[in-house]
Amino acid sequence: MKIILTLIAISILGVSFAQEPTSVLITGGYLHIGNGESIVTGAVGVRDGKIVFAKNALTFTVDEGKWDTIIDVSGKHIYPGFIAPNSTLGLTEIDAVRATKDFDEVGIYNPHVRSQIAFNVESKVMSTVRTNGVLLSQATPRGGVISGTSSIMALDGWNWEDATISMDDGIHLNWPSSMQGGGWWAEPAPKKRNEHYNNRKQEIYDFFEMAKAYSNIRDHEEKDFRLEAMRECFKGDKRVYIHANELQELVDVIAFARELKLKFPVIVGGYDSHLITRQLVDAEIPVMVVRPHSLPENEEDDINHPYRLANLLHEGGVAFCIQNSGGMEAMNTRNLPFLAGTTMSFGLSTEEAIQSITLSPAEIMGIDDNYGSLEKGKSATLFVSDGDALDMRTNNMFLGMINGKFISTRNFQQELYEKYSKKYEK
Amino acid sequence: MIKFILCKSILLSSIFCVLLSVAYGQEPTNGMIRSNASYYAFTHATIMVSPGEVITNATLLIKGNEIIKIGKRVLIPNDAVELDCEGRTIIPSFIELSTSIGVQKAKSLKTGQSPQLESMKQGPYYWNEAIHPEIDAAELYQPNDKVNEALIKSGFGFALTHQQDGIVRGKGTFVSLGKSSTHEVMTNWANASYYSFEKGVSRQSYPSSQMGAIALLRQTMYDAIWYKDDSKKELNLSLEAMNNQWNDVSFFSTRSKWEILRAQKIANEFDRTFHYIGSGDEYMIINELTEINSTIVLPINFPKAYDVTNPYVARQIPLSDMKHWEMAPYNPSIIAENNIPFCITYNGHKTAKEFWSHLRKAINHGLSVNDALNALTMQPAKTLGISAITGSIEVGKIASFNLYDGNPFEKDCKLLQSWALGEQTVHAQHLKEDIAGKYNITIENRKFPLAIKSTGKGKWNGTIETYATSSSTLKTDTTKHKAVVILDQEDITLQFTINDSIWSGSVNLQGKINTKLGIFEGNGMIPTGKWVKWYAVKSGKVTSLEKKIKDDFVKDTLAVSWFPNMAYGFDSLPEQLPYVIVHATAWTNEEDGIIEDATVIIEHGKITYCGIDPPTYPKDAEVFNAKGMHVTSGIIDEHSHIAISRGVNESGQAISAEVSIGDVVHPDDINIYRQLSGGVTASQLLHGSANPVGGQSALIKLKWGSTPEEMLIDDAPKFIKFALGENVKQSNWGSYNTARFPQTRMGVEQVYYDGFERAHNYQDALAKYNRGELKTKPRVDLELEVLSEILNSERFISCHSYIQSEINMLMHVADSMGFRINTFTHILEGYKVADKMKAHGAGGSTFADWWAYKFEVNDAIPYNAKMMHDQGIIVAINSDDAEMGRRLNQEAAKTVKYGGMTEEDAWKTVTLNPAKLLHLDDRMGSLKKGKDADVVIWSANPLSVQAQVVSTFVDGVILYDAKRDALLYNRNQQEKARLISKMLDANQQGNKQDFVKKTKGHYHCDTIGEEASLEENTH
C-alpha cells in the first residue's frame, strides 16, 4: 500500500506504522546537505535505511511507484541529524540527584571504563533533545585524567546495543591545568602556575608510553584492561580526545600528540585555540570548541569570544565542530542547534554553521562514512523542520528518522502541555 | 620609665596638666626609686617639629616624659644630660591606628561541622557571637617586645590596638610601644571602638553574607538605643558596652572601597561618624569620599608586580589587577590632593624596611613629605582627639620621638634611638664620619693599598691589593682580594686572604678607628700565626655606593584610573546627549505594535518621541540612521544575581527579611558590561533562595562605571525574595545541613505563619504604643518591619517556586494572612496552577526551557510561559544566570517555538512584562514618550538567533556600542601590553609575586556564603 502522508499525519501519529516503510521519498524541502552545500528545493530518497540520493527536486521526476511512502515537505527544511559530541546525555538524568548520575567513575586512569553500556535510551531528557533535531550524541564519561571511553549513540533505540552508532570511538584525556589553585573572584586563594603541571604532564606521557609499548604485542598472557583499552589509540582509529583550554596546555597537547604519534588526536574545549591556528592546521588536530553559550574566561577577553571562536578557527583553516559541555549539559543539548545559530552572526554562514553540528563532528569522530550529511550511501539519519532549525522561533521537528526508521516527534513535555491545556478548555 | 614627681615641674604649661595622668607611677617600687637624669638635651639637631615645620641646629630639652623646650637658643640646665645630635634628625613618634599587637587572637567556640544556630557564649551577652562590644583590648593587652619591635623600628611610638575579630569588635587600647611594664605603657588617652563587616571566628550560622552583617549591625544599634531607655530589662553587657562606646571615636575596618560607602550609609542612619581603615583602592571613589567627613586610615602595602616573565601566565592576569598595581602607590597622594584627612598604617608589613620602602614609594608617587608625616603623627592624634598630648614635638607634649642619622623621608637612614614616654631605646650608633676611602695599610712592614666603600646602612666592603713578584719573570702582578670590613662603633675588623710568595692564608685584624685623623690601628694575626701590630692611613676618597632614595616626582601620565578601573572601563563617563534614531523598525510594545521606518528621539535621558511623523529634532542631536535595524526598549531581567558583593544568600536563618541586596550592589562586575552588550538595561538583583523569606531586592539600571547608589533605580518599588522547595529545605546541601528548620515543605508553611503572625503582633504593639496604651516603645525589629511592609502592601514579593503543591500553599498562606504574591519566579509548574495564580493576582517570571537540574523541576516544560500567558498572567522570561542574561532575546524567542506565542508577545516577556511585574512600567518597558530612554538598537529582528546589539542606551547615555566595544578591546590589549612591560621592568628590579588567578565564580540562587559559586547552578 502506498502512503502519501500529509504533514499533520506524521506529527500527530508519531511513529505508528504497522510496518516500517522500506522506501521513503522526502521531497520539496530546503535541503541542507551538511557539507556546506544546500539545495533550495531538494529531495531525499531513502531505501532500506540508506540515502539513495539527495538532489534537486526540480530537476527530478518522481516515479511514484518506486516509493511506498512519499512525503511532501515543501516550505520546510531538511537537515542531517544534528550530532552532539562530548555529552553526558543518556548518562545522567537529574543533575542534583546522585543516583541518576552515571558518568564519573572512581579512578584517575580509566580508559577501560565505557559509557556505551550506561547509555539510557529511555532517558526523559533525551526525548526532549531528539525533538529539536539532535539525533546522535557522543556519550562521554567525565572525571579523572582519562575519564573513560566514549561511544557514539543514536538518541533512540530499544536498548544501548541498537542505539550504538560507533562503539568505543575514543578515550577522553583531561589535560592538567597549567594554572592551578582555588578561591573565588570575590576572595581569591593563591592560584598560580600549576607547580605540578610538569609532573602531571609527565605522568600522562608515562602512561601513554607504557600503553604504546603494550600495544606492540597482540596477545598478552595476562591482560591489562586499562592498557587494552588504549591499544586502538595507537593501532586502530580510536580517537584521543584531549580536553584542554589554555594556551600553554594547547601547545603542549600538540607536542604530546606529535611525540606519541597519536593517530587521531582531538582537542576538546580549545578556548585559546584561535591563537595557534597555524600549528593546529600543521598538526592536523581538530577542535571541538568550547560551548558558544558560555562566558569569556577573563575580564579583558573579547566579550563575544565564545560566540566568535568557531569562526576564528574556520578562518584559520582548523577543522572544528561545536560541542556543548558545561552546566546542565544533558538538558541543554537540545539547544545545540542554537549554539550553531549564534555563531552565524559572528561569521559563519548558515551552511557552515549547520556543518559544524553535522558533517564536521562526524568527520572528527570518524563516522562520516555513514553519518553527518545527506549524501548517497549514508544512513538516513535526518529530520525535517518547519523552519530554520538553527533559530529558536522556527526549529520545529516535523519528522525525523534515524537509520531510516521514523522516530517520535513527541516527548513527555508535549504530553504535559496537552494534558494541562485541557484543564483550561472550558 | 622616668617617674618624676610632678609638683617639681612648676614651670609647666597648662597643656602639661593633661600629662599628669600619664605617669603618676602606679606601682610601688622595691627599694629606692630608680635613678634618672633630670633633663635630656638634644643639641645641634634637625627637628621635624610638626608637618611643615623643621628647625635646624636646634636643641630639644625634655624632662621625664615631657618636652620642656625646643628651639635654636635653649638654655641647657646644668643637670641635663647633653646628647650631641649633629647630623641627626628628630621626628615625632608615629601613631598606629589599625593593629592587634599584644592582643591575643579570638578563638572559635564551636568545633565540628554541624551548623550552629545559637550563640555559644555563656553569660548576658548579645545573641550573636559576631557582636562583642564588651571585648576591651585593655584587658587583653600583653606587651610583646618582639612583636612591637618592627613597629618601633618603623618609627611608631604609639599604637591603638584592638582584637581584630567580628562585626562589633569592642574597644581598642592606646599604648606606648616603649619597653616598659604594662602599667606604664598603657594609657587612658583615647577611647576608640572598632567595627567591620567581617563575622570573624564566630561559627554561628548568621550572618553568612555581607548584607547579613550589615543588617545585624543595624539591628544591634537599634537594640542598643532600645536598651538605653530606663525601663526594666534583662541585663545585656554587650548592649551596655555598645551604649558606652556610642560616642567614642569609631573605626570601621573595610576590605574594599565599596565597604566604606556601605558603612557610611549606616553612619548616616544613626548619625554617627565612622573613620575608615581602608584597603588601598580608595582613589577609585574619590568623589564620594570628599563628601564624607571621616578620616581614612590607608594601608601602604602596595601590591607587588606580578611575575610576568612567562607570557602564558601574564595573559591570565586580569587587567583590573594590573591597573590597580600601577595606581595603588598613587592612592595616598590622590587622597591628599583631595584634602581628605588620612592616616597611614603599618598594617600589612613584616619589617621596617618594607614599610619604609613603601612609604618612600608613596612619596615618589606624589605624596609630600609633610603629608606623609602628618598622616603618621598629627592626623592620627587629631582623629583620636589627643593632639594636645602627642603628634608633634612641641612644648608640653609627650616626649616620644625618634632619632635618625638623616632625614628618613629623603633617603635610606638609620634609626638610632627611639624615645618613648621619655625613655630611650638605642637601636644603632650614629657614625658621624664616613670611613669610606682609600688607605694604605701596613702590617709587619708590608704595605697594601686598601679601599673601603660604603654599601649603605652602616655596612662596608673593602678591596685589598697584594703584589706577587714572579720568580721567573721578575714581573710584579697585582691581585685584588675582597676584604671583610666590619665596623662596630669605633672598633674595626678587617679580614682578607693573601696568597703570595710570603704569606698564604687569612689575615685577621682588629683595631680602633680615629676618623678625624683618618687612621686605624690595632693588632691582628697574619697567616704565619703571629700576632702583629698594624695601622692604616687614609690616602684618598672613593665614590659612595649609597643611593639617594627620593627622585623628583614625575607622574606617569599613562597611569590613570578608568570607570570602573578594569577592562572595558570608560576613560571618562559618557554623557547624556540628545539622539535621533531614524528609519528603524521600532518594537514599541504599545498599541502601535511594530512600526517600520520609525523615528525615536531621546532627550535628557527620556524618550521624547517614537513614531513615523517626527517633530523637529532637538538641537545638536546626533542622528543615527538605523535603516535595516530594529529598535526596542531595553531588556529587563526580573531575576538576576550579577553585581552583588560577598554573598547572595543570607542563609543563617529561615527568615532574613532584614537583609537587602541594595546594601551590597557591586559595580565592578564585568557582567554588567557583558549584559549591556546583550541589550539588558535594568535588572532585579534578587536575594538567593536559601530560605523561605530571603532578603530585599535591588532594582538597578546597568550603569557601567557608576557607583552602587547611582545604579539603584530612584524611588524603585520595594521587593523581597521568598523561596520554596528544595533549596529552602536544604535538600541538596549535603548531609550536615539537617538542623535548620524547615527541612520539609510542611515546615515551610509554618515558617510563614509564624513570621507573619509575629509581624501582626509587632504592628499591634506599635499601634498600641502610638495610641499611648504602651509605655515603652517596642524594640525596632528590622525583620518584622519588612514583613509589616508586606502586610501593608508596601513591599512586593517575588517568590522562587517550582511545584504546584507549594505554590498553592503559599497562596493560601498569603490569602489568610492578608498579603499577596506579586510574582512567582521560576514557577516551572505555573502551567498547572495558572488559574489559581490568576485568581490570586500573581505574575510569573520563568525560564524559557530549563529543567532536569533537580528533582523538583522534573515536570518543568518549556510551554509554561505560553500557557500562563494564555490564562491572562503577566509572564516574563528571566535569566538567573550571568551567561544567559546576555542573550535573553534568544530565550524570549523560544516562547515562539514552544507554544507559539506571537513575536510581539514574545518580545514583551523580556521588556514590558518584567517592567509590569516590577511596577516600573510607568517609566520603562516600551518605546513611549516620557519613558526612560533605555533603548537598544539591534542589527536584526531581536528575536532572531542572529540579532546583535548595535547600541544600548541607559537613561539616554550610550553605555554599550559595538563599534566602541572594538576600540575598547584594542585599548585594553594595549594597556595590558604597556603594563606588562612596566611590570617586567619591576620584575628585573626584583619586585615580583606570583600571579594569583581569581577563579571566576557566579552567584546563583543557591550559592551559600560570601563567595561565588563554581558549582553547577541548581537554581
Check which CATH number belongs to the domain holding A136 and give it: 3.20.20.140
Residues with Cβ within 8 Å of B30's Cβ and at least 6 positions away in sequence, in order, are none
Count CA atoms closer than 13 A to A63's CA, side-chain side. 3
Total number of domains constituting chain B: 4
Q: Give dist(CA A333, CA A350) in Å, integer.
A: 20
Residues B644, B628 share a domain: no
Q: How confident is the model at residue B1000 (pLDDT cuts 50, 70, 90)?
A: low
Compute the C-alpha angle B22/B23/B29, nearest 5°.
155
* Interacting residues of A202 by C-beta distance below 8 A, sequence separation 6+: none
Percent of chain B at pLDDT exceeding 70: 91
Flag if B567 and A299 touch (Cβ within 8 Å).
yes
Which residues 832-871 of chain B have a CB within 8 Å of chain A?
832, 834-835, 849-855, 858-859, 861-863, 867, 870-871
* Amino acid identity at A109: Y
Q: Cβ contact (<8 Å) for A341 and B313?
A: no
| Domain presence at residue A67 | yes
| Residue contact B1016–A95, C-beta within 8 A | yes
The string of pLDDT tens digits covering residues B636-660 is 999 999 999 999 999 889 999 999 9
- Note the pLDDT of residue A110: 97
Residue B968 CB contacts under 8 Å (≥ 6 apart), including other chains: B567, B568
Q: Provide mean pLDDT across the span B494-513.
A: 84
Give the nearest partner residue to A192 out of B861, B945, B997, using CB atoms. Answer: B997
- Our CA-based measurement puts residue A92 at a distance from the nearest CA of chain B, in whole angstroms, of 10
Q: Which of the listed ranges B152-156, B535-539, B775-779 does the model predict with the highest average pLDDT?
A: B152-156
Of B316, B899, B945, the CB nearest to A179: B316
Q: Looking at chain B from residue 893 to 922, which residues have their Cβ under 8 Å from any Cβ of chain A?
A: 893-894, 896-897, 899, 903, 906
**What percent of chain A is predicted at pLDDT more than 90?**
86
pLDDT tops 90 at residue B737: no
| Same domain membership, residue B599 and residue B624 | yes
- The amino acid at residue A263 is K
In a domain, A377, yes or no: no
Q: Which residue range forms the structural domain that includes residue B614?
A: 562-634+925-969
Phi (first) and psi of residue B518, to 5 degrees? 70, 35
Looking at residue B500, its pLDDT comes to 80
Q: Which residues of chain A does B679 touch, with a Cβ-Cβ cutoff of 8 Å? A: none
pLDDT at A9: 46
Residue type, A284: E
Nearest-angstrom CA–CA distance, A293 and A335? 10
pLDDT the model gives residue B267 = 97
At residue B433, the pLDDT reads 57
Domain boundary among A328, A346, A371: A371
| Pairing status of strand A320-322 against strand A287-289 | parallel
User: pLDDT by residue (tens digit) across B450-471?
Assistant: 888 877 666 788 888 877 665 5
Residues A180 and A288 in one domain: yes
Report the chain B residue with the minimal C-alpha distance to residue A334: B849
Q: Which pLDDT tens digit goes with each residue over B319-360?
A: 999 999 999 999 999 999 999 999 999 999 999 999 999 999
Domain shared by B512 and B651, yes or no: no
How large is the average pLDDT for residues B617-626? Answer: 96
CA–CA distance, A256 with A261 (Å, rounded to integer): 8
Per the CB < 8 A criterion, the answer to whether B150 and B96 are in contact is no
pLDDT in tens, B774-801: 988 899 999 999 999 999 999 999 999 9
Q: Give the C-alpha separation, B221 to B219, whole Å.
A: 5
Instruction: Please tell me the distance in Å from B866's CA to the nearest CA on chain A.
Output: 10
Residue B1018 pLDDT > 90? no
Cβ-Cβ contacts under 8 Å between A and B: the total is 198
Does residue A321 sit in the same domain as residue A399?
A: no
Does B826 contact A at CB distance below 8 Å? no
Neighbours of B226 (CB within 10 A): 17
* Lowest pLDDT segment from A8-22, A352-366, B594-608, B922-936: A8-22
| Cβ <8 Å between A247 and B671 | no
B21 within some domain:
no
> A156 is written with which cell numbers?
533512540
- A280 and A141 in a common domain: yes
CA distance A34 to A82: 9
Interface ipTM above 0.90: yes
Q: What is the pLDDT of residues B407-464, one digit of tens each?
A: 999 888 889 999 999 888 888 776 555 677 888 888 888 888 888 887 766 678 888 8
SS3 category, B836: helix
The C-alpha of A198 sits at a distance from chain B's nearest C-alpha, in angstroms, of 15
Residue B885's SS3 state is helix
Inside any domain, residue A380: no
Distance from CA of B819 to the nearest CA of A (A): 26
CB A100 within 8 A of CB A379: no
- Write the residue in B312, B899, B1010 that is nearest to A247 by C-beta: B312
Is residue B4 over pLDDT 50? no
Identify the three-state secondary structure at position B982: helix
Put simply, whether B945 touches A (Cβ < 8 Å) is yes
CB B771 within 8 A of CB B670: no
Q: State which H helix or E strand residue A229 sits in.
A: helix A225-235
B910 and B946 in a single domain? The answer is no
User: How confident is the model over A5-14, as pLDDT tens digits?
Assistant: 544 445 444 4
pTM: 0.90
What is the per-residue pLDDT for B511? 86
The segments of chain A whose pLDDT lies below 70 read: 1-19, 181-191
Subunit contact B677:A303, Cβ cutoff 8 A: yes
Q: What is the CATH number of the domain that holds A10?
A: 2.30.40.10
Same domain membership, residue B303 and residue B215: yes
Same domain, A124 and A183: yes
What pLDDT digit, counting tens, does each position of B854-899 carry?
A: 999 999 999 999 999 999 999 999 999 999 999 999 999 999 999 9
Q: Judge if B506 and B463 occupy the same domain.
A: yes
Tell me whether residues B861 and A413 touch, CB distance under 8 A: yes
Q: Do B606 and B927 touch, CB atoms closer than 8 A? A: no
B523 and B606 share one domain: no
Tell me which residue in A97, A188, A302 faces B998 most closely, judged by beta carbons. Answer: A188
Assigned domain for A153 exists: yes
Report cis status (omega within 30 of 0) of the bond before B717. Answer: no
The whole-chain average pLDDT of chain B stands at 90
pLDDT of residue B794: 98
Would an 8 Å CB–CB cutoff place B962 in contact with chain A? no
Which stretch of DSSP H or E encloses residue B158?
A: strand B156-161
Distance to chain A for B915, nearest Cα, Å: 23
Give φ, ψ of B548 to 5 degrees: -80, 130
Judgement on whether residues A114 and A251 belong to the same structural domain of the protein: yes
Three-class secondary structure assignment of B756-801 = HHHHHHHHHHHHHHHCCCCCCCCCCCHHHHHHHHHHCCCEEEEEEE
Are the C-beta atoms of residues B119 and B130 closer than 8 Å to each other?
A: no
Domain identity same for A106 and A161: yes
Q: What is the CATH number of the domain that holds B596?
A: 2.30.40.10
Which range, of A112-116, B141-145, B388-392, averages the lowest pLDDT?
B141-145
What is the bridge-based pairing of β-strands A77-80 and A382-385? antiparallel
Average pLDDT of B40-59? 94
Both A117 and A197 in one domain: the answer is yes
Contact, A83 vs A372, CB < 8 A? yes
SS (H, E, C) B318-341: CHHHHHHHHHHHHHHHHHHHCCCC
Is B493 a domain residue?
yes
Shared-domain flag, residues B493 and B612: no
Question: A414 near A124, Cβ under 8 Å?
Answer: no
CA–CA dist B831, B833 (Å, integer)? 6
Strand B531-540 vs strand B519-525: parallel, antiparallel, or unpaired? antiparallel
Range of the domain at A106: 82-371
Residues A27, A10 share a domain: yes
Q: Which residue has the cell 491545556?
A: A421
Question: Are A149 and A66 within one domain?
Answer: no
Residue A378 maps to a domain: no
Handedness of CA B389, B394, B400, B406 (dihedral sign): positive
Residue B16 has pLDDT above 50, yes or no: no
B830 reaches A (C-beta below 8 A): no
Question: What pLDDT sits at residue B472?
Answer: 61
> Does A88 lie in the same domain as A67?
no
Give the gap in angstroms from C-alpha A180 to the nearest C-alpha of chain B. Answer: 8
Question: Does B841 lie in the same domain as B818?
Answer: yes
Name chain B contacts of A299, Cβ cutoff 8 Å.
318-320, 566-568, 670
Does position B545 have pLDDT exceeding 60, yes or no?
A: no
Q: Which residues of A271-337 form beta strands (DSSP E)?
A: 287-289, 320-322
Q: Which residues contact B138 (CB under 8 A, 6 or more apart)?
A: B171, B173, B186
Q: What's the CA gap between B317 and B319, in Å, rounded?
A: 6
CB contact under 8 A, B945 and A342: yes
Check pLDDT > 60 for residue B558: yes
Say how many domains are in chain A. Answer: 2
Q: Which residue of A392, A397, A418 to mutate against B (max B Cβ within 10 Å)?
A: A392
* Domain CATH number, residue B463: 2.40.128
- The answer to whether the CB of A51 falls within 8 A of the CB of A77 is no
Average pLDDT of chain A to the nearest whole number: 92
Shared domain for A394 and A363, answered yes or no, is no
Give the SS3 label for residue A45: strand
More confident residue, B432 or B233: B233
CB–CB contact A345 B946 (8 Å):
yes
Residues B164 and B237 in one domain: yes
Provide mean pLDDT across the span B838-853: 96
- Coil, strand, or helix at residue A85? strand
SS3 A151: strand
Nearest CB to B854: which of A95, A334, A421? A95
In a domain, B877, yes or no: yes
Q: Do A132 and A87 share a structural domain?
A: yes
**Do B628 and B655 fall within a single domain?**
no
- Closest chain B residue to the Cα of A195, Cα to Cα: B994
User: Which residue type occupies A140?
Assistant: T
| Burial degree of B25 (CB within 10 A; 0-12, 13-18, 19+) | middle
Residue B127 and residue B138: Cα distance in Å, rounded?
24
How many residues make up chain B in this entry? 1019
Of B567, B883, B1018, the CB nearest to A295: B883
Give the integer Cα–Cα distance in Å for A127 and A414: 11
pLDDT at B1016: 47
DSSP B617-678: PPTTPEEEE-TT-EEEEPEEEEEE--SB-S-S---SSSB-TT-BGGGGB-TT-HHHHHHHTT
A417-426, B701-710, B933-942: the lowest-pLDDT one: A417-426
| Nearest chain B Cα distance for residue A339, angstroms | 9
